[in-house]
Structure 1
Amino acid sequence: MSKKKVLIIAYYWPPAGGPGVQRWLKFVKYLPEFNIEPIVFVPENPNYPLIDESLIAEIPTGITVIKQPIKEPYKLAGLFSKNKSKTISKGIITEKENQSFIEKLMLFIRGNFFIPDARKNWVSPSFEVIKVLLSKENIESILTTGPPHSLHLIGLKLKQELDVNWIADFRDPWTTIGYHKQLKLLKSSAKKHKQLERQVLNTADKIIVTSFTTQKEFQNITQKPIEVITNGYDDEKTETTVLDSKFTISHIGSLLSKRNPEVLWQVLRDLKKENESFSNDLQLNFVGLLSENVAHSLENYSLSNCVNNLGYVSHNESIKFQKKSQLLLLIEINSEDTKCIIPGKLFEYMVAQRPIVAIGPKGWDVETITTQTNTGTCFNYNDYDALKATILEYYKAYKNNDLTVQPIGLQKYHRKALTKQLTRLI
Structure 2
Amino acid sequence: MKKVLIICYYWPPAGGPGVQRWLNFVKFLPEFGIEPVVYIPENPDYPMEDASFLAEVPKEVTILKQPIFEPYKFASIFSGKKTKQISKGIISNKKQSFTEKVLLWIRGNFFIPDARVFWVKPSVNYLKKYLENEDITTIITTGPPHSVHLIGMKLKKQLDLKWIADFRDPWTNIGYHSALKLTKNSQQKHKKLEHEVLNSADLIVTTSYTTKVEFETISSKPIEVITNGFITPEIKKSKVDKKFTVSHIGSLLSGRNPKVLWSVIGELLEENPDFKKDFQLQLAGAVSKEVLESIKAYKIDENLSILGYVAHQKAIELQRATQVLLLIEIDAEKTRGIIPGKLFEYMAATRPIIALGPKQWDVARILEETNAGVYFDYTEKEKLKETLLSFYKAYKNDNLYVNSVDIDKYHRKSLTKHLASII
TM-score normalised by length of structure 1: 0.98
Once structures 1 and 2 are overlaid, which stretch shifts more, 78-87 or 310-319? 78-87
Residue 254 of structure 2 corresponds to 257
Residue 314 of structure 2 corresponds to 317
Would you identify which runs of 4 or more consecutive aligned residues in structure 1 move more than 6 Å?
none
Deviation (angstroms), 1:164: 1.4
Matched, 1:279 2:284: no
% identical equivalent positions: 58
Deviation (angstroms), 1:137: 2.0
The two structures, once aligned, show a CA RMSD in angstroms of 0.7
Give the partner amino acid of 2:266: R
Give the partner amino acid of 2:405: I
Deviation (angstroms), 1:272: 1.2
Cα distance in 1, alignment partners of residues 307 and 134 from structure 2: 45
Residue 212 of structure 1 corresponds to 209
Give 5+ residue unaligned stretches, structure 2: none
Residue 30 of structure 1 corresponds to 28
Give the partner amino acid of 1:128: N
Residue 336 of structure 2 corresponds to 339
Residue 376 of structure 1 corresponds to 373
Residue 303 of structure 1 corresponds to 300
1:107-155 CA-to-partner distances (Å, cap 9, x unmatched) read 1111111000000000000001100111222112000000000000000
Within the candidate set 389, 392, 406, 1:392 is matched to: 389
Matched, 1:56 2:54: yes
What secondary structure is seen at the aligned counterpart in 2 of 1:66?
A: strand
1:76-121 CA-to-partner distances (Å, cap 9, x unmatched) read 10111111111110011112x5111111111111111100000000
Matched, 1:129 2:119: no
Cα distance in 2, alignment partners of residues 412 and 48 from structure 1: 31
Equivalent residues of 2:232, 2:348 under 8 A apart: no
Deviation (angstroms), 1:391: 0.4
1:216-246 CA-to-partner distances (Å, cap 9, x unmatched) read 0000001000000000001211101110000
Matched, 1:144 2:141: yes
Deviation (angstroms), 1:271: 0.9
Matched, 1:9 2:7: yes
Deviation (angstroms), 1:340: 0.3
Equivalent residues of 2:208, 2:362 under 8 A apart: yes
Equivalent residues of 2:8, 2:38 under 8 A apart: yes
Cα distance in 1, alignment partners of residues 32 and 132 from structure 2: 23
Give the partner amino acid of 1:56: L
Instruction: Report how many residues are paired.
Output: 423
Give the partner amino acid of 1:344: G
The 5-angstrom pairing of residues 187-206 of structure 1 reads 187-206=184-203
Within the candidate set 223, 233, 238, 2:230 is matched to: 233
Give the partner amino acid of 1:34: F
Give the partner amino acid of 2:23: L
Cα distance in 2, alignment partners of residues 290 and 203 from structure 1: 38
Equivalent residues of 1:232, 1:418 under 8 A apart: yes
Give the partner amino acid of 2:201: A
Within the candidate set 98, 101, 112, 2:98 is matched to: 101
Cα distance in 1, alignment partners of residues 96 and 237 from structure 2: 46
Equivalent residues of 2:137, 2:160 under 8 A apart: no
Cα distance in 1, alignment partners of residues 115 and 14 from structure 2: 17
Matched, 1:162 2:159: yes
Residue 90 of structure 1 corresponds to 88
Give the partner amino acid of 2:82: K
Cα distance in 2, alignment partners of residues 273 and 377 from structure 1: 24
Equivalent residues of 2:285, 2:307 under 8 A apart: yes
Cα distance in 1, alignment partners of residues 375 and 232 from structure 2: 26
Cα distance in 2, alignment partners of residues 250 and 117 from structure 1: 32
1:34-85 CA-to-partner distances (Å, cap 9, x unmatched) read 0100000000110101110000001012011111100100001011111111
Give 5+ residue unaligned stretches, structure 1: none
What secondary structure is seen at the aligned counterpart in 2 of 1:81?
A: helix
What secondary structure is seen at the aligned counterpart in 1 of 2:38?
A: strand
Deviation (angstroms), 1:163: 2.8
Give the partner amino acid of 1:364: W
Equivalent residues of 1:4, 1:140 under 8 A apart: no
Matched, 1:66 2:64: yes
